[in-house]
Structure 1
Amino acid sequence: MAYSHSLLQLTTWLRLLGVPPIKYIRSIQTSTPMATRRERRSKLKRKRKLYLKEKEVPIAPEPRKGFLKFYHDRYRLLLFIPFLILLLALAQIGVQYATTGDFLNKGVSLKGGLTLTVPIDAPVDVHATERFLQNRFPSNDLRLRAISEFGRQVALIIEASSDVESDDAIRALEQGVIAALRERVAFDDYSVEVIGPSLGASFFSQTLKAVFIAFLLMGLVVFLYFGENFKAKMAATVLTLIASFSIFGAHTFAAFLALGVLAVILALLYVFFSPPSAAVILAAMSDIIVTLAIVNLLGIRIGTAGIAAFLMLIGYSVDTDILLSVRVLKRTGGGVFSRIVSAMKTGVTMSVTSISAALVGFLVSQSETIRQIMLIVLIGLIVDLIFTWLQNAGIIRLWAERRHLE
């Protein structure tokens, strides 16, 4: 009622002064509430900014003692450790290729030959029997291992490589190995699996191409997530798809040279437009290379199951690297080093859990295929701890310091 009475008085005075009141009153009724709402919105925005600023986690103080103090102060020095390990691994693979013609120890499934499975009832001296057979067949790279159940030998597996495609030659090798084995071991039945050299080479070529394609696609996904330049993302996508489809048709030196050029261009895109993406990809690649070098040093003959283990290892190694990068780059507050430590607690827990599972699988399983997969994954997960938390974390800290993200 008071508001209506005041409005009536104002209208009367405006009429006496000769001012048209309707337009003026409408402007009062419409513009004043709008201005009030704008002021309220601006006040709410200011309050929200102040609230968020108060809630922001303060930068954690630098650690003063223990491992974290050393890790905080000497991270540049610690960066030399993974790079030195990587150089030694590359040297081992180079020596392996120079001496044997292959950068890994191929099993029968990748090289060609025969695999004999012989059930036994009495225990056998595996090492003495293996040396005996190797002396009989020095040119066939023969290996012998035992299968045990609950600590008791139940079968022998003999692998003998062969470069001959002839069925008669493979049959002669089979009969010769069986006859020689009967001189040392008593058995009745056996089973044989034969893989020709050309088929083994085809298996190796296809699985190796699958590993390269998986690595290319992994790198693209990481770059699309962490990269910021749209044009660089599109260029990387096109180049990755071209390289992936071209790998299966590459059979000549010129084709492989073109693929190498594409790989170099992709690497340059990752380094210049998203250094954190390049750090993740470098850590995963280093994990694969060092694991391969360790497997070579242990004398493990890799079959198709081993290649599958390396495919699995690509995913395992990228998990912790992406966790670290997301925690450091996509979150705010607490400082870069505090976010690295937070990511390390989660990532090391994940890795230890996976290592425990792989170790149990290696110790409990009686299947040689599963044991080889578990052993390669186990080695790769241990190596990944070094390259994630020393190499990748150190590179991200250097990049963050240059970007003043502390």
Structure 2
Amino acid sequence: MLEKMMENHKILIAIPIILALLSLVLIGFNGLEQGVDLKGGSQAELQLLGSVTPSELEDTLDAKLNTNNIKVTNNGNNKVTVELENNINSSTFTSAINGKAKVISYNEIGPILSEEAMGQIYIAMIFAFLFMAITVFIVFREPVPSVAIILAALCDILIALGGMSIFKIPLSIASVGALLMLIGYSVDTDILLTTRLLKRREGTVEGRAKNAMYTGLTMSFAAIAAMGILYVVTKILMPEATTLSNISAVLVIGLIGDILSTWLMNLGILKTYIDWRQSKKQEKYNVGSSSSKSKSSKSDEGKSKLSFKDKLKRKTEVEDDEVMTKIQEELDKIDNMDESSDNIPKSEKSSNKKSNKKQKNKGNKRKAKKQKGKGGK
């Protein structure tokens, strides 16, 4: 399976990006529900009296209060939480319930407080991504892996927000905390993968990715199982703990998105980056080897030229030796002729002497030329 993923890594990069874009479109059309602590309004915790049900209480409040989006949540043990979109004072609300429930707590959140909370959330998200980017860049000192890790975390957040829009999970201070936790989970698995692929050198890229996947998926599935159990327990046994159920639901959706963004997109980006870096090294190696080969060929040509000169020099020396040997033989013949010159007439002697002098002069000239040539060399 991993081998096929590594072969098609460029195609797999697009899957988490498409999911993140679809989440943006879904949020734009479907909207994202906000909790009372962010959008403002009233929130009350009530103890139901007698046999009143949460649905009956909701109908009563809807009829007597001029407000929209009344939400009644059953907390168990005849306790409910009522959220109102508008700010209504406590006396008006108490008269509206008409003795069907007892008010345990009542809070009004104005628009100023809600705007301030949203501003703090934006600042928290911006600083989380900023410090994450700085930390990742300091660790790896390479822009491509750093951008890949940040992009994976951003896809996780968008996928989680899209899931919140589908399942009507309100955006509240608690769910924002879950999103911040999700950034930590995402960076953890992404740094694990990046460290295994770029920092370690043993084995192949596929082998290191396989080991990182085993470790990362074990961490992710363990976290998904823990958050899933928390969600089931809070929904069945503790329905009043809506904060815990919202946090666990957001984390389950985000961790599923993190598996896709880490092991499809981030792994694909890193594999492409490693292949590009290896190709650059191979090009440099090829250029260096070609230049060294040209230098060696030039040195071989120089050696061949030098050897040719040496051969020519040796050849001329051998030829000169042969010529001098012949001259010496001729001189020996002339000496033998001088010894027998007593039986030759004077006229012949004089002619022989002249010829002998000419041959000696020629031999002396050749010796002088040879000595000059050796001295010049």
The two structures have a TM-score, normalised by structure 2, of 0.67
Q: Choose 1 or 2 for highest CA Rg.
A: 2
Correspondence list, 1:9-48, <5 A: none
Q: 2:159 — aligned with what?
A: 290
Q: 2:79 — aligned with what?
A: 155
CA contact (8 A) 2:61 2:97 kept: no
Deviation at 1:210, TM superposition (A): 1.1
Given candidates 84, 91, 98, the residue that maps to 2:25 is 91
Q: Which amino acid in structure 2 is aligned with residue 141 of structure 1?
A: N
3-state secondary structure, aligned to 1:403: helix
Q: 1:190 — aligned with what?
A: 104
Say if 1:196 and 1:337 are closer, same or farther in 2 by CA, change over 3 A: same
3-state secondary structure, aligned to 1:299: coil
Task: Provide, for residues 228-251 of structure 1, a one-character-per-residue CA deviation record: whole Å limited to 9, x for no partner.
Answer: 5xxxxxxxxxxxxxxxxxxxxxxx
Pairing 1:219–2:133 present: yes
Say if 1:127 and 1:335 are closer, same or farther in 2 by CA, change over 3 A: farther
Say if 1:222 and 1:393 are closer, same or farther in 2 by CA, change over 3 A: same
Deviation at 1:218, TM superposition (A): 0.8
Given candidates 359, 366, 370, the residue that maps to 2:244 is 370
CA contact (8 A) 1:114 1:174 kept: no
Q: Which amino acid in structure 1 is aligned with residue 243 of structure 2?
A: T
- Distance in 1 separating the partners of 2:211 and 2:134: 26
Q: Which amino acid in structure 1 is aligned with residue 190 of structure 2?
A: D
CA contact (8 A) 1:226 1:277 kept: yes
Deviation at 1:126, TM superposition (A): 4.3
Q: 2:276 — aligned with what?
A: 402
Pairing 1:105–2:33 present: yes
Correspondence list, 1:44-83, <5 A: 67-83=1-17
Q: 2:307 — aligned with what?
A: none
- Distance in 1 separating the partners of 2:103 and 2:91: 18
Deviation at 1:214, TM superposition (A): 1.2
Task: Provide, for residues 44-103 of structure 1, a one-character-per-residue CA deviation record: whole Å limited to 9, x for no partner.
Answer: xxxxxxxxxxxxxxxxxxxxxxx2343233222222211211110121223356xxxxxx
Q: 1:175 — aligned with what?
A: 94
Q: 1:352 — aligned with what?
A: 221
Say if 1:158 and 1:389 are closer, same or farther in 2 by CA, change over 3 A: same
Pairing 1:380–2:254 present: yes
CA contact (8 A) 1:118 1:155 kept: yes
CA contact (8 A) 1:208 1:307 kept: no
Q: 2:180 — aligned with what?
A: 311
Unaligned runs of 5+ in 2: 282-377
Pairing 1:321–2:190 present: yes
Deviation at 1:323, TM superposition (A): 0.4
Aligned length: 275
- Distance in 2 separating the partners of 1:368 and 1:176: 27
- Distance in 2 separating the partners of 1:188 and 1:133: 14
Q: Which moved more, 1:116-125 or 1:302-311?
A: 116-125
Given candidates 115, 119, 129, the residue that maps to 1:201 is 115
Q: Which amino acid in structure 1 is aligned with residue 83 of structure 2?
A: E
CA contact (8 A) 1:323 1:343 kept: yes
3-state secondary structure, aligned to 2:128: helix
- Distance in 2 separating the partners of 1:78 and 1:317: 18
Q: Which amino acid in structure 1 is aligned with residue 173 of structure 2?
A: T
Q: Which amino acid in structure 2 is aligned with residue 348 of structure 1?
A: L
Q: Which amino acid in structure 2 is aligned with residue 336 of structure 1?
A: V
Q: 2:266 — aligned with what?
A: 392
More helix by share: 2
- Distance in 2 separating the partners of 1:298 and 1:134: 24
Cα RMSD after superposing both structures: 2.4
Q: Which amino acid in structure 2 is aligned with residue 84 of structure 1?
A: I
Pairing 1:302–2:236 present: no
Say if 1:213 and 1:331 are closer, same or farther in 2 by CA, change over 3 A: same
Pairing 1:361–2:285 present: no
CA contact (8 A) 2:6 2:271 kept: no
Q: Which amino acid in structure 2 is aligned with residue 392 of structure 1?
A: N
